[in-house]
Amino acid sequence: MADKVYRASTTAPVNIAVVKYWGKRDATLNLPTNSSLSVTLAQSDLRTLTTASCSASYPTFEGDWLLLNGEPSDVSGARVQACFRELRARRAALEAADSSLAKLSTMPLHIVSENNFPTAAGLASSAAGFAALVRAIADLYELPASPSELSLIARQGSGSACRSLFGGYVAWRMGDKPDGSDSMADQVADAAHWPDMCALILVVSAAKKGVSSTSGMQQTVATSSLFQERIARVVPQNMAVMEKAIRDRDFAPFAEVTMRDSNSFHATCADTYPPIFYMNDVSRAAIRAVEQINAAAGRTVAAYTFDAGPNAVIYYLEKDTERVVGTFYHVLGGEIDGWKKDAIKGLKPTT
């Protein structure tokens, strides 16, 4: 009789930070130099879907194996290995305590993962990817782990992934322990707390980014003096104001901190030596468009933010959809090639 194949599938959404993670104090454990805060965004076409399976069936299951968007991918990297090791250790502990459990921890793992958005284009693909990978294996192993515990594991795959284990408004607390056991995510508010928040993603370019986040942030930590100011003063204050703005559902401070924090992050990139530029002329046109929208309304109706790539994410409230989306269409539509067909609009915080 063929050996049984055990299988579990899950999806994980992307998250877009409004207070950015940039800088590691420990590159092996992915321990950050500052806390960060993001909104987990839902739309059916902005997720990673991952299936994890394991079996003692040989030779079908010969070694660990990962298929990423249809392409075989390396599982020997330290990040994937760290996730596999942590999850197997937790499963092995369950098996040691209950001899009736199948010995899944010793079987090869097969992972199949599909993103339905551009990989490595600054759309937080590693965040959704590692969050889905960790949860799929945790489900396969029937681990009784909370999202915070899983966030400790996903963090070792990719820092920002720890925030995609939660829905809504999510903080990643940097922690201060050298072993990273207190560097994990928690939920500041669920999606239902502020459901009229919306996001518009302007896909300026779906090309792979020039400087990876990992090497970019290492260069920033090593060379930027502005970065010291950011982690010592700017981010702690932004975190405090942002958490209060979310609790109070107060869009104006939410938007101001979002824009200021994005600007601060990109300023430290420019202060890195040699400098790192993620935004381009189209990105800067999007910033001007947000300024025009807010000036014309006489209040803050939209906030821009940019990650490690040129794509803009615009946060706004549902009641202002026409004003924001319509103005973007008007301001950018005639001039900028390509963004209209790729714009992803009406994203909502998800649970």
| Piece of 14-22, 173-181, 223-231, 321-329 that binds ligand 2P0 (CB under 6 A) | 14-22
Nearer residue to ligand 2P0 within complex by CB, 235 or 282? 235
**Per the omega criterion (within 30 degrees of 0), is the bond before 59 cis?**
yes
d(Cα 180, Cα 152) in Å, to the nearest integer? 8
Using CB under 6 A, which residues numbered 101 to 130 contact ligand 2P0? 126
Phi-psi region of 175 (alpha: psi -120 to 50; beta: other; left: phi over 0): left
CB of 214 to ligand 2P0, least distance (A): 4
CB of 21 to ligand 2P0, least distance (A): 3
Site for ligand 2P0 (CB under 6 A): how many residues? 14
Separation in Å, CA 331 to CA 88, 162, 296, 324:
52, 36, 13, 10
Tell me the per-residue interface mask from 239 to 278 with ligand 2P0, x by CB under 6 A, - otherwise: ----------------------------------------
Q: Which of 11, 69, 148, 214 binds ligand 2P0 (CB under 6 A)?
A: 214
- The structure tokens listed for 59 are 């030779």
CB of 313 to ligand 2P0, least distance (A): 10
30 binds ligand 2P0 (CB under 6 A): yes
CB of 201 to ligand 2P0, least distance (A): 14
- The structure tokens listed for 23 are 């800088």
Three-state secondary-structure class, residue 272: coil
- The structure tokens listed for 44 are 């059916």
Q: Which of 10, 20, 194, 258 binds ligand 2P0 (CB under 6 A)?
A: 20
17 binds ligand 2P0 (CB under 6 A): yes
What does the chain come to in residues?
Answer: 351
H/E element, 73: strand 71-73
Do residues 40 and 349 make contact, with C-beta atoms less than 8 angstroms apart? yes
**Which residues in this chain contact ligand 2P0 in the complex, by CB under 6 A?**
17, 20-22, 30, 36, 126, 158-160, 213-214, 307-308
